[in-house]
Structure 1
């Protein structure tokens, strides 16, 4: 059966109110006494006075009056108008009054009236009633709901999801705990171009679609922003990889299916990561692995699924613990992808991308070994090697190629290196060891680092900037990378995320974002690079928008340093395809994946 997003308990008293009997203040008490006796479900009546006032008579309090202390109450009161026995100042609220406010008002009443019914004013002057007990119960439901639910989407929140995930991981009788991490690829574009109200509608729509795609027993959560997660199980079988992919595809397709209720341009696809844990897996680790798999999906262009299996199982010592040995044995390789100037068709910079020439598994791309290196907490060691090797390679190009050498080399830094101690000293030590001017190096800040983390290392980044090192914000427009970063960080350049380039010819919002960033770069002096260029049409449009630099398969695939040396020596790399009107060449043929280390 398809699930539905849980309905939040009512926040106003209107849905809680029920019909109330209304009597005239001149009615005799004997008549009301008969009504209460013959209608045991009648809890109270509202009383209308001639001057328009409203009173309230509760069943229990009226019976106490009619009984009297010695049993003669009915004889004393039967001919008395009910208006004289009513509470002349009952609590009356509008139906839009908040439950929490009404409960607070009840709590301030004197003790004997604190549990009286509350009258509710409907449109047109009609009256209804709600008991104090029902109001307090509704308040408890509302508080319990808010404790575990995201207020916008109605899904469970991050805290509750982690609690449920931890419980599932502790249940060793049911191995195969799976976490599906879903991140919307176009959330920022929707917010920037259509406004945050439409962005909220997209979040709500995505939540409904994910819930309706969930299986019985799956738990769907909103972790925050445009990030969702699903807790499920992978049944045992001979191909857990296929089961994990199928699970991820289930939710990717749910997001990829357009919602006709959303306005034009508010649609988004999603990057999906699936992590499957072994029995006893740490919950935070499993969620982190799913997050990393999602990020690899986003790096590959989005709207796709990436998986990681056997999280928490024994790490492969040939990979996780072998990275230090690989450095010592010289098994690591740097491949370089050119960053081209769109006005002159020449190599402006090269981005360093690490590969591992593994003795058993052959040439490994980053997606094959970075998760294990991350779990082994060896990413800073890998970063240090990449920095040293990239600076040394550029210095070598200077020696062999002179003016034909690239002006800069770009090196990606991981979050672990950024937040570690001595960032600036480490980077400058690499340039010093290679006898390379710091101004020839550009470090790329990972999109996975949030603004708070980057602000914590602003002093270190400024020290690098003061020494000439370029600071580049990678994947601008994706995930947490926003214009706010440009105002608080000492960046010298930005790289436009490949998802915008992929959609710029068909989607005017993507086109507008690229134009905005290009114009911003010209006005502020930032170097702007478009990533993921794969067609002549995209290249022509980027040149028309005055984007100064571009990178992508069309311009050059990642290639080993010696291969690139041959191409650079010609002055016009074969990887350039019609960058300028007089440049027509074919592509660089290189091995390895374009996925970057970060």
Structure 2
């Protein structure tokens, strides 16, 4: 089975602090500091001890603070304190949480502590009264794991979500040996009847049951996803060997049709459903969207035939043109003037005024029409031409910003956010190259905000950290994009010279209904204020979300509700007013 479709572990990271807590040493408040000092010296791994007072109160002594006390300013600390009861040196009001407290909630409380105690251990109380401990660092690691998990998982079933499925399907289609990539599209036949007759709670139980049965039927390396509602998909590889491809495709579809058809005794009577299944098998030139669409249409043919059936589509992609960005086509596109730069406003949540705009590249292809970046960037990357594309974006952005300044004066955008690739940032003279177009247009480096790619981890930035610091010295902002989605974690904030972060749209989408999403946004807003960095919420789609962000004191927002990506000249009227209301909506609002 191909590595391109190997699924990540579906096990949800722990979301309660009890699962993170480790045993903590407990001492009596009357223990002398000299004896406790020996205890710390004997066990280098002892990070803290809990102190029990006569009245039942609990205190906390941390290794670092106690060691500083015992050393003293002139080396006489031990002589002064060794006979003193340890309880007098403890923090008498440490943070103590029940073991069923949520990781997100506790991280929020930790973020609100005063700086001197922010990274103290958190004590965890078990139901039987025993105490455990968990470090602030471990809590934030768990929070990062939860955020990463949520970005790719369906919250109801734990399966991969639609976005993650499409990412993996796209990677599989672009692999070196991708012919035979298969998509199985599964749609339940009786979902409406179950919801209408038994209620949506039972409908949710049917969805979860279907997810379990499809996962059990999947082979090693298959990726099972919930696309939405009662639609599921499986990413697999069809290995035909000496058999006919059509028989192999039907057999693959039958595996999952039978999995759904098998009754689940855990469901109430009448909650059972059969499924219509479509299977699409890619040829050498298949792309992800076409393959999924063909599987969907095959499923629809199965449903038209009465349901509980399998229909197939073979050799999907043979009729397609070559990838539009293959080879040096991007260079030719630049020379022919086919690239376009669109801009999406970023507003202040409190006053609704445009504070910045994000530059988004498009390709007006002569045959394929207006292309979003995901249609050509992978080919540009393979051709090692991403720095050339970044250079064009920076030059076009600088020209547009200078034109706005000349026409609008103080109403021109104060900043422009530009997404740059790791390949550009790794260059030894990256800072000079990035700022050259601004200097040529007589623009300050402070007008630029570089958005770091969300797909890159810290190892990818190892050779770029020096150049990022140089950009910061010149006044350029550094923004961590899609916080919680790709590889971006809280660790990035302590290693990279970040001046801003963007909260991934998945948290904004769920904030009104999902308690954890709401708490994550509140935590990141608090963290931004604490670290003095700008926080922007992405994917705002309605007034209710905007109102909630305002109450959570998230300072900036971006999304289709506030303005679609548009060419520079389309945004001039918006920039004159400074407000997104009434912005003209241009055709083809590609992300």
Normalization by structure 2: what TM-score?
0.51
2:274 is equivalent to residue 269 of structure 1: yes
Spell out, residue by residue over 1:301-331, the C-alpha distance to the aligned partner (whole angstroms, 9 max, x if none): 211111011111138xxxxxxxxxxxxxxxx
Say whether the 8 Å CA contact 2:285–2:318 is kept in structure 1: no
Q: Structure 2: how far apart are the matches of 1:32 and 1:260?
A: 59
Aligned-pair distance for 1:152? 0.9
Q: Structure 1: how far apart are the matches of 2:303 and 2:8?
A: 28
2:189 is equivalent to residue 185 of structure 1: yes
- 1:105 corresponds to: 109
- 2:296 corresponds to: 291
Say whether the 8 Å CA contact 1:158–1:223 is kept in structure 2: yes
Matched pairs, number? 316
Say whether the 8 Å CA contact 2:7–2:221 is kept in structure 1: no
> What is the aligned-residue RMSD (CA, Å)?
2.1
Spell out, residue by residue over 1:537-582, the C-alpha distance to the aligned partner (whole angstroms, 9 max, x if none): xxxxxxxxxxxxxxxxxxxxxxxxxxxxxxxxxxxxxxxxxxxxxx
- For residues 475-554 of structure 1, the aligned pairs below 5 Å read none
Say whether the 8 Å CA contact 2:7–2:222 is kept in structure 1: no
Q: Structure 1: how far apart are the matches of 2:310 and 2:284?
A: 23
SS at match of 1:174: coil
- 1:173 corresponds to: 177
- 2:583 corresponds to: none
Aligned-pair distance for 1:236? 4.2
CA change 1:115–1:276 in 2 (3 A) is same
CA change 1:287–1:206 in 2 (3 A) is same
Gaps of 5+ in 1: 316-375, 377-598
Say whether the 8 Å CA contact 2:182–2:281 is kept in structure 1: yes
- 1:232 corresponds to: 236
2:280 is equivalent to residue 251 of structure 1: no
Of residues 148, 164, 176, the one that matches 1:144 is 148
2:203 is equivalent to residue 199 of structure 1: yes
Aligned-pair distance for 1:45? 1.1
Of residues 49, 61, 65, the one that matches 1:57 is 61
Say whether the 8 Å CA contact 1:273–1:306 is kept in structure 2: yes
- 1:217 corresponds to: 221
- 2:45 corresponds to: 41
Aligned-pair distance for 1:281? 1.3
Q: Structure 1: how far apart are the matches of 2:126 and 2:229?
A: 38
Aligned-pair distance for 1:261? 2.2
SS at match of 1:181: strand
Q: Structure 1: how far apart are the matches of 2:113 and 2:291?
A: 51
Q: Structure 2: how far apart are the matches of 1:100 and 1:232?
A: 35
SS at match of 1:50: coil
Say whether the 8 Å CA contact 1:172–1:279 is kept in structure 2: no
Aligned-pair distance for 1:37? 2.2
Say whether the 8 Å CA contact 1:4–1:212 is kept in structure 2: no
SS at match of 1:36: helix
Q: Structure 2: how far apart are the matches of 1:265 and 1:50?
A: 61
- 1:76 corresponds to: 80
Say whether the 8 Å CA contact 2:214–2:259 is kept in structure 1: yes
- 1:489 corresponds to: none
Aligned-pair distance for 1:130? 0.7
Q: Structure 1: how far apart are the matches of 2:118 and 2:143?
A: 15
Of residues 89, 94, 105, the one that matches 2:93 is 89
Say whether the 8 Å CA contact 1:171–1:279 is kept in structure 2: no
CA change 1:254–1:5 in 2 (3 A) is farther
SS at match of 2:140: helix
Of residues 136, 150, 167, the one that matches 1:163 is 167
Aligned-pair distance for 1:172? 4.4
Aligned-pair distance for 1:38? 2.3
CA change 1:151–1:241 in 2 (3 A) is same
Q: Structure 1: how far apart are the matches of 2:9 and 2:264?
A: 16
SS at match of 2:93: coil
Say whether the 8 Å CA contact 1:5–1:211 is kept in structure 2: no
Say whether the 8 Å CA contact 1:157–1:222 is kept in structure 2: yes
- 1:119 corresponds to: 123
- 1:301 corresponds to: 306
Say whether the 8 Å CA contact 1:121–1:127 is kept in structure 2: yes
